Structure 1
Amino acid sequence: MNDSPGWASPGPAPSDGRPPENSGGSGPAGGAPESTPSGAKWSKEQPPAGQWSAPGTSGQRSHAQTPRPQGWNGAPQGGGWGAPGPGGWGGPPPAAKPGVIPLRPLGLGDILDGSVSTARAHWRTVLGVTVVVAVLVQIADIVLQRFVLPAPMEITADPESNPTEALRQSLESMQDSMISLVPSLLISTVGTLFTTALLTIVVSRSVLGRSVSLGDAWREAKPRLPHLLGLTLLLSVGAMAILTVAALPGLLLGSVGGALLSAFGVLAASVLVIWLWVRFSLASPALMLERQSIGQSLRRSAKLVQGSWWRVFGIQLVTALLTFLVSMIIVMLFSTIALFTDGSGMGELLTGNSPEFGWAFLVISSIGAVIAACITYPISAGVSVLLYIDQRIRREALDLDLARAAGLPGYGTEQPADHTPGS
């Protein structure tokens, strides 16, 4: 890994059947491996003397038992051990925290706190990204809805129609609503694309404790935007294709039985889409930070998620519910204000007619949408990037590379005494 937020392509992951690239001979102590009298060899990444963390009780070497240099939270107590407690010696000292997260395996609270801390620490850049993109998205959506797209057709259900005719009318109404939503979804997707690309760079810098301006984030993210657009389109089109194929047999039948068949098909396909969505949910940060192709980023995400599908799904689900609730509260508040401000639309709604809202309603509700986006976009992007970092820490000891990139002492970042610039 280098010092830039565009991290170098990782070495073979443990899931590949080969050791990670940071398991080589240069460790924090920089020493050569030594042999014990029994012939067993020490790990090549040994910390200096007196800097061991508390030993584990199991003979298996886990991530929590990996020796850490003194740079992790300063000098340890008692010559390297924690203070003794009622039941014996204390645990290892807390992990170093050069940026918004501690360099260790993360929990849900660490990930959410890191996302919020990134938005607070780099609020100028984060706010600049989200406000500009959200305002442009809302302006484009208003122009499309007001001047480009035709008004939605009003389909009045006939109470005396048979079940087949009522089903046909419902399907036509649903089709008309979906067609009117497609342009808005496309615009929102493009806006999310830009915010995800820029905020990924911001979060990656904040993990190392470094500042980043809007111009820096744009220069780092710009070369990867075409690849990110291709990845987004591939995942979106793939999900729509799976749902369409599942619903097609029932749609061809065109009866009540066909509608039930389509419903069951879409339900089963939705389970598959969710499984694939979680499996490839880390492809975006892998593409941006490892500078990989679309296919490589998809394979990379699948390997990182393998064995942790339910954990990744749970964190993504909690984040989606949290952002949805926050966004819904803000949007409903501003929509209510806009509804009472626009008297004509409110009157038509009370009389049961289809309301024609004026500019006051559109402007006020758009302001609420912009505010909601400024709050939820950084959280969603931050969780995605930090979850990717967490999976790499757990599988590949990425925390060691992050510590070196952050300049923490004891990780091979110091220059030798006889080193001279340019030599």
Structure 2
Amino acid sequence: MNDSPGWATPGSSPSDPSDGERQGAPAGQPAPGDQKWSAQQPPPGQWSSPATGQGTPQQPPQQPGQGWGTYGQPQGGPYGGQYGHPGGPGPWGKPPAAKPGVIPLRPLGLGEILDGAVTTMRSHWRSVLPITLVVATVVQVISLLVQKLLLADLVVSTNGTPTPEELVNSLGSGLSVTVATNFLDFLGTVVVTAMLTMIFSRAVLGHGSTVSEAWRDARPQLLRLIGLTLLLGIGLTLLGAVLVLPALLLDSYGLAFAGGLAWLVLAVWLWTAFTLASPALMLEKSGIFTAFGRSWKLVKGSWWRIFGITLLTFLIVLIVKAIIVMPLTLIGILVSGTGLTGLTDGSAAYSWGALIFSAVGLIIAQMVTMPMQSGVTVLLYVDQRIRREALDLELARAAGVENHASGATGG
């Protein structure tokens, strides 16, 4: 066991509820040979109260309907504990979960996942910021030059009715720009995702990571991550072609619409089922198909939860991009120097001013959104492994936390 990404052998720990009950031990007690529990367990019947001194502390008379909380002070409710419920940090409550890094080592809630991503961006900005800034700048500069080169000779119709030649020219130029810029974005996203995954994995343990360390850890799996992402994208595209193209060839637009709708549902379902394949591949040092299988197993039974968190993250990213990019793009169009003619015929949209301001906006937006997306995905992966494989025990050992009990709740 070490502090490097990967943490534990996948699937080596028991999953889901009460392992002691599954293996024949009484509920709440460790089963023989159960590795999920710490080797140092307190002897039965030896729990002591928080009061100091010798002997049994004297308690004041308990009033009806009133329990006793921390240090023998009365609390409301029939169970005692702080705030009058059994989960409080009193003598009867569980200890708070260890938090060596950006998240507590227990099953996470939505707020904790988002907070963990933001906390990592803020506390490890010396590593996160250079990676996103450099990659986003390189991608946007190349994309700007590609757009200007491919759209420089685009003929814009001035009479409102484009000729067939103008239509073909516009379609070809637009398609070329879309393919080129999307491919550049894809490569940049893969590189950033690979490196940020390593930074987030160390942040969970409370360890920092330099840019060189993140690159060193990510580089061996980079080609596999590119292959995994391409394979998923190509597979979803082929699925759409199978469901839609036959209907279009038969001129059955209703059937084509139904096929497109079915493809959309299947694409969302498959994308969610494989959303944890990227961190599984990077952190477990596995192969492409093994990573797909790991994601399928981890998401199974939690599809709606993971879909909801992923969708919410996507909407947050979309809103942030719109807030940053759209005003700068509009400013670029207004200062492009093409005047009202450029605004009406659309030529201002690919002027130098518009392209430069749009690129600046995208660089700023990606510096915020790319770490957010990568962080949420990594923390979802960690959360699912804690829930199913008791990964928190391995993380606690790697972080040097002693006597960590799996499933501990926060105080």
**Normalised by the size of structure 1, how large is the TM-score?**
0.76
For residue 143 of structure 1, what is the aligned residue in structure 2? 145
Distance 1:76 1:236, change over 3 A: farther
- Residue-by-residue CA offset, 1:299-342 (whole Å, 9 max, x unaligned): 00000000000000000000000001001110012112212221
Q: Is the CA contact (8 Å cut-off) linking 1:331 and 1:372 kept in structure 2? A: yes
User: Following TM superposition, by how much is the alpha carbon of 1:410 offset from its aligned partner in structure 2, in angstroms?
Assistant: 2.8
2:330 is aligned with 1:336: yes
For residue 375 of structure 1, what is the aligned residue in structure 2? 368
2:214 is aligned with 1:217: yes
**2-structure distance, mates of 1:383, 1:296:** 21
2:315 is aligned with 1:321: yes
- Residue-by-residue CA offset, 1:158-202 (whole Å, 9 max, x unaligned): 99xxxxx9xxx9999778644431111111010100010000000
Q: Is the CA contact (8 Å cut-off) linking 1:82 and 1:93 kept in structure 2? A: no
- For residues 116-155 of structure 1, the aligned pairs below 5 Å read 116-148=118-150, 151=153
**2-structure distance, mates of 1:114, 1:50:** 36
Identify the range of structure 1 (41-50 vs 106-115) with the bigger mean alpha-carbon deviation. Answer: 41-50
For residue 7 of structure 1, what is the aligned residue in structure 2? 7
**1-structure distance, mates of 2:155, 2:15:** 54
Q: Is the CA contact (8 Å cut-off) linking 2:277 and 2:295 kept in structure 1? A: yes
For residue 262 of structure 1, what is the aligned residue in structure 2? 256
Q: Is the CA contact (8 Å cut-off) linking 1:342 and 1:360 kept in structure 2? A: yes
User: Following TM superposition, by how much is the alpha carbon of 1:239 offset from its aligned partner in structure 2, in angstroms?
Assistant: 1.1
Identify the range of structure 1 (270-279 vs 83-92) with the bigger mean alpha-carbon deviation. Answer: 83-92
For residue 238 of structure 2, what is the aligned residue in structure 1? 241
Q: Is the CA contact (8 Å cut-off) linking 1:15 and 1:303 kept in structure 2? A: no
- Residue-by-residue CA offset, 1:96-155 (whole Å, 9 max, x unaligned): 111000111001100000000000111011000000000011011012112256755668
Q: 1:296 aligns with which of 284, 290, 308?
A: 290
Which structure exhibits the higher relative contact order, with contacts defined as CA atoms closer than 8 Å and separated by 6 or more residues?
A: 2
Amino acid at match of 2:209: V
Q: Is the CA contact (8 Å cut-off) linking 1:35 and 1:41 kept in structure 2? A: no
Q: 2:351 aligns with which of 348, 358, 371?
A: 358
**2-structure distance, mates of 1:316, 1:42:** 38
User: Following TM superposition, by how much is the alpha carbon of 1:9 offset from its aligned partner in structure 2, in angstroms?
Assistant: 2.8
**2-structure distance, mates of 1:284, 1:214:** 20
User: Following TM superposition, by how much is the alpha carbon of 1:281 offset from its aligned partner in structure 2, in angstroms?
Assistant: 0.2
User: Following TM superposition, by how much is the alpha carbon of 1:86 offset from its aligned partner in structure 2, in angstroms?
Assistant: 1.6
**Unaligned segments of structure 2, at least 5 residues:** 53-67, 82-86, 88-93, 406-411
For residue 310 of structure 1, what is the aligned residue in structure 2? 304
Q: 1:188 aligns with which of 168, 185, 200?
A: 185
Distance 1:156 1:306, change over 3 A: farther
User: Following TM superposition, by how much is the alpha carbon of 1:12 offset from its aligned partner in structure 2, in angstroms?
Assistant: 4.0
Q: State the aligned residue count.
A: 364
**1-structure distance, mates of 2:398, 2:244:** 50
**1-structure distance, mates of 2:357, 2:346:** 22
Q: 2:398 aligns with which of 399, 405, 421?
A: 405
Secondary structure in 2 matching 1:95 = coil
**1-structure distance, mates of 2:172, 2:245:** 14
For residue 57 of structure 2, what is the aligned residue in structure 1? none
**Unaligned segments of structure 1, at least 5 residues:** 25-32, 55-74, 160-164, 413-423
Secondary structure in 1 matching 2:215 = helix
Q: Is the CA contact (8 Å cut-off) linking 2:97 and 2:104 kept in structure 1? A: yes
- For residues 9-158 of structure 1, the aligned pairs below 5 Å read 9-12=9-12, 14=14, 45=37, 47-49=40-42, 77=50, 83=70, 85-87=75-77, 88-90=79-81, 91=87, 92-148=94-150, 151=153
Amino acid at match of 1:3: D
**2-structure distance, mates of 1:48, 1:292:** 35
Amino acid at match of 2:128: V
**2-structure distance, mates of 1:93, 1:170:** 68
Secondary structure in 2 matching 1:49 = coil
User: Following TM superposition, by how much is the alpha carbon of 1:77 offset from its aligned partner in structure 2, in angstroms?
Assistant: 5.0
Distance 1:214 1:41, change over 3 A: closer
Distance 1:85 1:135, change over 3 A: same
Amino acid at match of 2:80: W
User: Following TM superposition, by how much is the alpha carbon of 1:82 offset from its aligned partner in structure 2, in angstroms?
Assistant: 6.7
Distance 1:155 1:231, change over 3 A: farther
2:236 is aligned with 1:275: no
- Residue-by-residue CA offset, 1:15-69 (whole Å, 9 max, x unaligned): 699x89xx99xxxxxxxx9999xxx9696625543899x9xxxxxxxxxxxxxxx
